[in-house]
């Protein structure tokens, strides 16, 4: 959510930003907010004037009573009551206007960074850089579900009976490899100076509304029936929500957390769920990182964070590339975002395994997260980035370490997490 003062002083910039995101249907919101804001400020002045009148007359009553002029004092009391009634009515209107303004402001997209490429959708995202050689071996790489099944590591049929489509059982060595990657991701980020965090896996609606746009909410979140609680789609939401309504000391910045959590997503949309595989599912596990920092430091942290994910996957022998999200693919709260994509030797193309974003002060404004500095309090910048989301990350490791005999090499950095196991041998 942008600052209403910025919108008031720069409506054309806000309109141009909306157009660059190809959301012309939201242009009307700018004029509606300006109109409501004008009414709200006029009403605030009127309320202030009424309060001044009430205070003045209240003092007058005291003077009259001291002089024994009770009849005159009673007349003034009646006038004060009339002022109170009018003030109460206006304060009610004032609150209604503020709520209408907030509702519209939360739908207006954040101002993008000037470097964001302009494009209508994800088909126009821009490749930035490749890391590692994308190899296509001379032998065929099976579909990832077939690799896992050959290792006796997957049971979607039973999960279908217990939970339905979009769920799965991971078993044996594959389940251990899945957890080994997450444990390694935890230690990798701790070694980068981040504090490890296991957050709540459910959050209230005020936190949900603070960390994501309405469009994302509808497409992603599961609500707990009868309670003001949602299952998290990423630990970022809980970790950012930890600071809701807080004023942190400037010397504590940057705050760096890396969080583990299961994640739950509806996966509503045209892409649908995978019938056999694990690329798009309702439940997965994730190691995430967040940073709260001074606004002027956000781009430095943005570049550090996506580089951490690149370094992490390269240590697993997985080639990756970075893909800059264009304006039409950028979620409304984000200032700038880049996807990290892993190479799939089977498909001979890259697929998303992580995403790094800076949101400026949008989340901090919604959640009232401030820092206390020498010149007063100010909104912090918030950033988030995926270390690894598995089983999607697991797919990248399996495909890129698959051998012609059907075995899978374990990346060296995971040997200690796998009890010394260096190769997974097919059982089927």
Q: Which residues of the chain, if any, have pLDDT below 70?
A: 214, 268-275
Closest by CA to 392, choosing from 170, 130, 133, is: 170
Please tell me the class of the 4-105 domain: mainly alpha
- pLDDT at position 28: 97
pLDDT for 50:
84
In three state form, how does the secondary structure of the chain look?
CCCHHHHHHCHHHHHHHHHHCCCHHHHHHHHHHHHHHHHHHHHHHHHHHHHHHHHHHHHHHHHHHHCCCHHHHHHHHHHHHHHHHHHHHHHHHHHHHHHHHHHHHCCCCCCCCCCCCCCCCHHHCEEEEEECCCCCCCCCCCCHHHHHHHCCCEEHHHHHHHCCCCCCEECHHHHHHHHHHHHHHHHHHHCCCCEEECCCCEECHHHHHHHCCHHHHHHHCEECCCCCCEECCCHHHHHHHCCCCCEEEHHHCCEEEEEEEEEECCCCCCCCCCCCCCCCCCEEEEEEEEEEECHHHHHHHHHHHHHHHHHHHHHCCCCEEEEECCHHHCCCCCCEEEEEEEEECCCCEEEEEEEEEECCCHHHHHHCCEEEECCEEEECEEEEEEEEEECHHHHHHHHHCECCCCCEECCHHHCHHHCCCCEECCCC
Query: Taking the domains of the chain in order of start, what are their residue ranges?
Result: 4-105, 122-424
pLDDT at 275: 66
The residue with tokens 């804001």 is 37
Q: What's the pLDDT tens digit per position in 20-32? A: 999 999 999 999 9
pLDDT at residue number 220: 82
The token duo for 185 is: 């991701």
Maximal CA-CA distance, the chain: 106
Residue 258 has a pLDDT of 98
Residues 30-43 pLDDT 10s: 999 999 999 999 88
Say yes or no: domain 122-424 is CATH 3.30.930.10.
Answer: yes
Angle at 417 between CA 419 and CA 278, to 5 degrees: 110
CB 400 within 8 A of CB 353: no
pLDDT at site 288: 97
Q: What's the pLDDT score for residue 213? A: 76
pLDDT at 270: 47
């Amino acid at each position: 959510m942008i600052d209403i003062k910025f919108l008031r002083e720069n409506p054309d910039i806000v309109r141009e930003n909306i157009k660059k995101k190809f959301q012309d249907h939201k242009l009307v919101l700018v004029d509606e907010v300006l109109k409501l804001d004008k009414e709200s400020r006029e009403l605030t002045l009127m309320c202030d004037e009424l309060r001044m009148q009430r205070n003045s007359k209240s003092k007058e009553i005291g003077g009259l009573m001291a002089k024994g002029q009770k009849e005159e004092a009673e007349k003034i009391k009646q006038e004060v009551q009339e002022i109170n009634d009018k003030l109460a009515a206006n304060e009610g209107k004032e609150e209604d206007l503020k709520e209408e303004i907030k509702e519209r402001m939360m739908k207006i997209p954040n101002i993008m960074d000037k470097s964001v490429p302009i494009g209508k959708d994800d088909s126009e995202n821009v490749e930035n850089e490749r890391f590692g050689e994308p190899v296509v071996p001379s032998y065929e790489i099976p579909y990832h579900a077939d690799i896992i099944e050959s290792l006796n590591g997957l049971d979607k049929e039973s999960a279908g009976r217990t939970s339905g489509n979009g769920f799965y059982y991971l078993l044996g060595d594959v389940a251990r490899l899945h957890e080994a990657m997450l444990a390694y991701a935890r230690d990798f980020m701790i070694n980068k100076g981040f504090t490890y965090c296991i957050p709540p896996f459910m959050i209230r609606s005020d936190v949900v509304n603070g960390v994501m746009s309405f469009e994302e909410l509808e497409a992603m979140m599961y609500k707990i029936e009868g309670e003001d609680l949602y299952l998290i789609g990423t630990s970022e939401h809980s970790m950012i929500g930890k600071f809701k309504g807080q004023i942190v000391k400037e010397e504590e910045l940057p705050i760096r957390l890396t969080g583990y959590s299961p994640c739950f997503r509806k996966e509503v949309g045209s892409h649908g769920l995978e019938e056999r595989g694990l690329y798009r599912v309702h439940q997965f596990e994730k190691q995430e990182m967040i940073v709260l920092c001074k606004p002027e430091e956000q781009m430095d942290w943005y570049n550090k964070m996506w580089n951490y994910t690149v370094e992490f996957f390269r240590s697993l022998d997985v080639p990756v590339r970075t893909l800059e999200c264009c304006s039409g693919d950028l979620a409304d709260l984000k200032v700038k975002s880049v996807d990290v994509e892993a190479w799939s030797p089977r498909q001979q193309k890259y697929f998303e395994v992580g995403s790094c974003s800076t949101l400026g002060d949008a989340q901090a404004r919604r959640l009232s997260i401030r820092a206390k500095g020498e010149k007063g309090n100010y909104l912090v910048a918030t950033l988030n980035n995926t270390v690894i989301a598995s089983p999607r990350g697991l797919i990248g490791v399996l495909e890129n370490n698959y051998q012609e005999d059907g075995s899978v090499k374990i990346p060296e950095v995971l040997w200690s997490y796998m009890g010394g196991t260096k190769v997974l041998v097919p059982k089927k």
